[in-house]
Homo-oligomer: A and B are copies of this chain.
Amino acid sequence: MIFQRNVWYVAAKSEDVDRQLRRRTILNEPVLLYRTERGEVAAMQDLCPHRFAPLSRGTLFGDIVQCKYHGLRFDALGRCVHNPHGDVITQRMHVRRYPTAERHGFIWIWMGDSAQAEPERIPDLSYMDAPGTRTVHSYIKANYRYDILVDNLLDLSHAEYLHVGSFSAGPAACSKTSVNEERNDVFVVRTMQDGPSLPHLAHLGERIDQTLNIHWRPGQVMNFEIKSTPVGDPSSNGHRARFSHIATPETEGTTHYFMSTTRDYAIDDPKVDAEAALRQVTVIQNEDGPMLDAINAEMHGMELMDMGPVLLPVDVGAIRVRRVMKRLIDEEISGSQNSVSATRSR
């Protein structure tokens, strides 16, 4: 599996990176994460270049990491700053550093060419930080490939089967799906007219109109907005839910799965925070999880399109995303080949 590298990935929730040395594998690479004394995030390869000891087993002195094995020291940019065995420091003793940025409650990391790591390319999730709102982030480690997770989210028609009784009331033959693509983003809109309501929407009536907007971006950032209104009353306030799912590949077969939910009520109530997080995580773990685990096992590490799946109209969003991803990865490969050629021709 070839991963896209030149894109911002979510490495961690902000609150999960602190003055401890922590290791997180991202795109199959071991990454050391910690905060400096000033609170900035340091991210570097979690391997000492001497004997390949994980630096995360070392000790933090101020902002300096000392390897637990032979005492080499590295600063927050991965530069070797102390060699107790001879005082010689060569270029090869520096550790690869990864650009990071902190935004919207997440630590973002750039695993590709550092020169391209412009912070303005971080997806704009500022709705999470808007005044009068409260966003709760959750994290689970998922034992399935990131693309199985993305396929699952881009086609919510599965809700009628996998989530019946939790966030679906059952079949909605009255649904329509449309897909748009803009640059590298994919938008899926699913509208339901006069469909079944759910307990928490009972105040809108037994049947409702509903619009679901999904916005997918490279880096596997997916935003969801669901607007529910009484049947035939589109201008009513109705009910709005906003949440996001973000999938960062850990290895070929596992995924860092970040879920966020944003609300505009009871924003200072930690009890509501906990309930919101629990509700979101529980559905994913109990209803999607076993199915995605099973599919991951059935696929034996093969690529979906190589297995000749039957495609249905509901797959249109997921297929569009797969095409964008293929194009971006192909561009990266040919781009890096070009830069190699350029280097060689100098």
A residues adjacent to B (C-beta < 8 A) = 30, 47, 49-54, 57, 66-71, 83-86, 90, 92-93, 151, 155, 157-158, 160-162, 171, 173, 290-291, 294-295, 298-299, 307-314
Contact = CB atoms under 8 A, between A and B. Distances in A.
A157 B86 CA distance: 12
B93 A53 contact: no
B294 A54 contact: yes
Given A68-B291, A69-B291, A92-B310, A85 B52 contact: no
A188 to B, nearest CB: 14
Contacts of A57: 290-291, 294
A216 to B, nearest CB: 18
A305 to B, nearest CB: 12
Contact of A50 (B49, B173, B312): B312
B52 A295 contact: yes
Interface centre among A69, A93, A309 (most CB of B within 10 A): A69
B314 A70 contact: yes
Nearest to A173: B84
Given A158-B70, A160-B71, A298-B30, A310 B50 contact: yes
Given A49-B309, A307-B52, A309-B52, A69 B299 contact: no
A49 B313 contact: no
Given A70-B314, A314-B70, A294 B53 contact: yes
Contact of A162 (B30, B54, B69, B308): B69
Nearest to A297: B54
Contacts of A171: 71, 84
Contact of A93 (B157, B161, B291, B310): B310
Contacts of A312: 50, 70, 83, 85-86
Contacts of A160: 71, 84
Contacts of A50: 309-312
A42 to B, nearest CB: 20
Contacts of A66: 161
Given A52-B295, A85-B313, 12 more contacts: A47-B298, A49-B309, A50-B309, A50-B311, A52-B307, A54-B298, A57-B294, A69-B162, A70-B314, A71-B161, A84-B171, A84-B173
A303 to B, nearest CB: 12
Q: List 4 A-B pairs, minimum CB-CB distance, nearest first.
A: A49-B310, A85-B312, A52-B298, A86-B313
Contacts of A70: 155, 157-158, 161, 312, 314
A171 B84 CA distance: 9
Contacts of A84: 157, 160, 171, 173
B310 A67 contact: no
20 contacts: A47-B298, A50-B310, A50-B311, A51-B295, A53-B295, A53-B298, A57-B291, A67-B161, A68-B291, A69-B158, A69-B161, A70-B158, A70-B161, A70-B314, A71-B171, A84-B160, A84-B171, A84-B173, A85-B157, A86-B313
Contacts of A294: 53-54, 57
A276 to B, nearest CB: 26
A49 B309 CA distance: 6
Contacts of A54: 294, 298
A70 B69 CA distance: 52
